Structure 1
């Protein structure tokens, strides 16, 4: 048994040794093939450029032996992508200083007029009257034209329905005489108002419900009745003020 086992054991040992050597050799061959496949990709970036496209390859200069040896596959791929970018879109750095464009807004036109600030007391210039100055008013409080008013001027003021009167009570009351039914007179010498009825007219007038037969001095808020119209007297000039006082100051 021992004699027969010896040769068989030697044959099996040689078989196992040969199998081990074959496996080691095959592993070396696989490793060599993998390195051979990787070596062309790293050593020849021109092939990578050809894969990227013929246009990119045409734009690049032929690679030198030194640069082909030093570039990796990733760097060669980046150079191929950069070559495909248009020249006008590439970022170019120059030594010239940057140019700044200043845009100014359009100048707004100045306003035609401005408010002038005056400090201290402003001197008022007194002029002459272009027309008769107002010295009071008659305000309609009853009848046609209620809420309306008529100015009273210095001197003698005739009252009537016609527009020819200095104080025209022309609101549609036919009971008022057309011409000079009464007068209101203001005298700047004594600063007083007088109501004078026209006794030649048959139309009746009254002051505070009394029918005057001659001149009656008017006071503030007296009520004058003419026909079916009532008017309240509102003075502007009087003992406290008159236009002549302003004329004396100039």
Structure 2
């Protein structure tokens, strides 16, 4: 497989609500331009055109990471204590919420400690 799906982001609040977008191995750039791996062009102009945020899947460590992009606007991760700005790469857990602009995304992991494409039995 060239680029298997490793997870998704689902827009749960804001422009494009209800839409899911796949994530692949390596770096997944999020932004409004068509050249972004995860294009979020649904009307929220507070999302940067280029690399608002990056969700990276490490296929060797089976972990996801979230980091802010190169745009002016920040990326926020919702935690038990509230929203915190993502100022350096942070491990992203299944089910966490990410805010980019006025849009909230729910992160859904397919791969991780319980499943990975490279660990499938040969007869699967």
Q: Would you say same fold, with TM above 0.5?
A: yes
Residue deviations 1:98-144 (CA, integer Å, cap 9, x gap): xxxxxxxxxxxxxxxxxxxxxxxxxxxxxxx2x41000000011000
1:249 aligns with 2:119: no
Mark the structure with the bigger radius of gyration.
1
* RMSD of equivalent CA atoms: 1.2
Q: 2:27·2:54 contact (CA, 8 Å) conserved in 1?
A: yes
Query: Could you tell me how far apart the structure 2 residues matched to 1:210 and 1:183 are?
Result: 16
User: 1:221: Cα distance to partner?
Assistant: 1.0
Displaced runs of 4+ in structure 1, greater than 3 A?
none
1:229 aligns with 2:103: yes
User: 1:239: Cα distance to partner?
Assistant: 0.4
Query: Could you tell me how far apart the structure 2 residues matched to 1:202 and 1:139 are?
Result: 23
- SS of the aligned residue for 1:244 comes to helix
Structure number with the higher strand fraction is 2
Q: Which residue, 74, 78, 97 being the options, matches 1:204?
A: 74
Q: Which residue, 93, 114, 118 being the options, matches 1:240?
A: 114
Structure number with the higher helix fraction is 1
Q: Which residue, 80, 87, 96 being the options, matches 1:213?
A: 87
Give the structure-2-normalised TM-score: 0.91
Q: Which has the higher contact order (CA 8 A, sep 6+)?
A: 2
- Which ranges in structure 2 are unaligned for 5 or more consecutive residues? none
Give the structure-1-normalised TM-score: 0.46
Spell out the pairing of 1:47-126 with structure 2 (5 A cutoff).
none
